[in-house]
Amino acid sequence: MKENKKKTEQELITPVAKPVSRRILLGGAATAAVVLLKSSYGQIIQKAISQAELKINDPTKVLGPPPGELGTRSKFEKPVKKPSDTSSRTPLQDLYGTITPADLHYERHHAGVPVIDPQQYSLTIHGMVEKPLVFTLADLKRFPSVTRTFFLECSGNYRGGKETLRPQEICGLTSQSEWTGVMLSTLFRETGVKPKASWFLAEGSDAAVMSRSIPVSKGWEDAMIAYAQNGEAIRPEQGYPARLLLPGWEGNTSVKWLRRLELSDQPFMTREETSKYTEAVKDGKIRQFSFVMDARSIITYPSYPQQVQKGWMEIRGIAWSGRGKIHKVEVSTNGGRTWNRANLQEPVLDKAHTAFRYLWEWKGGEAEIMSRAIDETGYIQPTMKQLKEARGVDMGGYHLNPITSWLVQRDGSVINKPV
Amino acid sequence: MNKLYIACMSMIVFSCNSHQTSYPESKTEHIRQADTTGWPARFGLGRPASAAGIAAMDIDVSPDGTGLPPGEGKAEAGKTVYMNRCVACHGTETTPGDAKLLGPVLISNNPGKAKTIGNYWPYATTLFDYVRRAMPYNEPGTLSDEEVYQVTAFLLAAAKVIRQQDVLNAQTLPNIKMPARERFVPDDRKGGPEVR
């Protein structure tokens, strides 16, 4: 080696003489990556390069990091939830398709996220049953399983009144997952639910000991006890290690961290179905046990604070209904004067977020774009005005599903149209 | 055929105590069918729940009083509990209804548009159940049953639903008629073209 006097850049680097572990090669605080270089002697050598060099580097010339134990999100992508004291909202505008990544699933809980050891976990079913039973997590997993994709939505999922609201703020308390678990009907069979039982209490083991009364009919119909979400164990924020899921019903009824089901012949009138999750309607009445989430849609592109350019674009969004499948989504680009049928992404699933698209050429000038969902019962997503007419001006904040309008302004900026 | 056909949502009926409300039939279009072909009558999973095990977690209280424990309490003693354990987050009589506290305003003389125990809660049993289950927020489940009776009496007296000297126990609590009770109606939305 010493006979060669002409020192090239490559030669300054120590050739790899003996096997060195990747960890060592990749180590070092200033090292951003390792490149393979060919020395003037024809040997392949590795060179650590700095962050600064990497920035301007051609990725085809840089050996990437090795396979790892856990995947990562690109450092250029930073979708985040928007937390408040009591909830955290899904960034609907940053998502594609209809599955919510588990770490972006919305959260709403009443006393924080409990830590539950799966070895200690159990679900007790008692009350009006032939055989009161306690199931461990392993027991639940031994039963015939089901996997189903559907949305969850908090019934308090509406914010309005401002131009500077993103889809996340307006209705980010909805998310969708593929859930795996055991049908509640299977456990009803196992415990022998008595014909007289018409309601059951679902109770969680969080610090709120969350409790809701649910009609037994929903249990036989399509309720499930889920232990997995998008292919992995359910996340703590979504109810680890097991939760109740009532497809299409207000999120609060899908009790997380489920510890107990008590069968009865009357509802229990818990705080969450009396003081909360009830809504004032006309004539001083208060609507109770309003379980089902009505059909709704939102355009997620374009939306605030995005900027659009003249020309063709695909107006995109999601639509969903707690009563079944989305039948149709209509899009208006002229403030509701005329409506056009959007394309729905197949397969359209029951009680599931459904992606819609509508091709539109923006020629400049102001435009008001909006979408409305129509479900298979023939329900048409209403305007806020229609909701107020139907429920009275004192209607509460639950079950509000009004049409959302976006104003595309002359300069291409997009704002929410407060209603 | 060993299939279990599950009919559409059957009648949802609830009845409690003195009051009977029939919930309208709520149908879904989807008749689901759990395919139980080849299933045994039972899988034999799970272990029998012991009476003691159930009792340890069965904390719910129904409108008819089922689940209420022995013990009793009056508003005066409840005031002490409230002042020691609740006031920091829930305020006093002079706290306005829209005040920013950690918890909702509970005993305000000036509630404004806030929903309160007196103007909104349909059952007194719910108050006992909820306080015993979830309060104080930062130390849930630390009140004795006696203290829960006491503070429940205090909150109901502050709402002018009961008198200062009334004694709350498993017999008297379910008999309290809450002012808002008749306002509650079952959900009447049912899909289809009508907005409700």
Determine if the pTM surpasses 0.80: yes
B147, part of any domain: yes
Question: According to the model, what pLDDT value does residue B97 have?
Answer: 79
Nearest to B189 among A290, A376, A378 (CB): A290
Helix axis angle for B145-158 and B124-134, nearest 10°, is 130
Query: Do B58 and A262 make contact, defined as CB atoms within 8 angstroms?
Result: yes
Query: Do A217 and B12 make contact, defined as CB atoms within 8 angstroms?
Result: yes
Query: Do B12 and A125 make contact, defined as CB atoms within 8 angstroms?
Result: no
Average pLDDT, chain A: 91
B161, part of any domain: yes
Confidence check: pLDDT of B45 > 60: yes
pLDDT, tens digit, 9 for 90 and up, residues B96-141: 878 889 999 999 888 888 899 999 999 999 999 999 999 999 999 9
Question: According to the model, what pLDDT value does residue B34 have?
Answer: 63
Confidence check: pLDDT of B25 > 80: no
Chain B residue numbers with beta carbons less than 8 Å from the beta carbon of A201 are: 60
pLDDT, tens digit, 9 for 90 and up, residues A252-273: 999 999 999 999 999 999 999 9
What are the Cα distances from residue B117, in Å, to A164, A288, A338, A405, B120?
36, 16, 47, 37, 6
DSSP B59-122: ----TT-TTPPS-EE-HHHHHHHHHHHTHHHH--TTS-TT---SS---S-S--TT---TTTT-S
Query: Do A269 and B29 make contact, defined as CB atoms within 8 angstroms?
Result: no
Query: Do A323 and B28 make contact, defined as CB atoms within 8 angstroms?
Result: yes
Q: What distance lies between CA A48 and its chain's CA centroid?
A: 40
B137, part of any domain: yes
Look at the domain A296-417 and name its fold. Answer: Immunoglobulin-like (2.60.40)
Look at the domain A85-277 and name its fold. Answer: Sulfite Oxidase; Chain A, domain 2 (3.90.420)
Mutation site, A268, A291, A389, interface B, largest B CB count within 10 A: A268
Residue B135 belongs to domain with CATH number: 1.10.760.10
Measured in angstroms, the CA of A208 and the nearest CA of chain B are apart by: 5
pLDDT, tens digit, 9 for 90 and up, residues B68-102: 999 999 999 999 999 999 999 999 999 987 888 99
Chain A residue numbers with beta carbons less than 8 Å from the beta carbon of B65 are: none
Mutation site, B126, B142, B181, interface A, largest A CB count within 10 A: B126
Mutation site, A148, A286, A320, A389, interface B, largest B CB count within 10 A: A286
Question: According to the model, what pLDDT value does residue A33 have?
Answer: 52
Confidence band of A308 (pLDDT split at 50, 70, 90): very high
Confidence band of A23 (pLDDT split at 50, 70, 90): very low
Task: Specify the higher pLDDT residue, A16 or B35.
Answer: B35
Domain boundaries, chain A: 2-61, 85-277, 296-417
User: Could you give the number of structural domains in chain B?
Assistant: 1
Question: According to the model, what pLDDT value does residue B29 have?
Answer: 40
Q: Residue B120 belongs to what domain range?
A: 69-181
Chain A residue numbers with beta carbons less than 8 Å from the beta carbon of B32 are: 221-222
Per 3-state DSSP, what percentage of chain B is helix, strand, and coil (rounded to 5)? 25, 10, 60
Average pLDDT over residues A168-192: 98
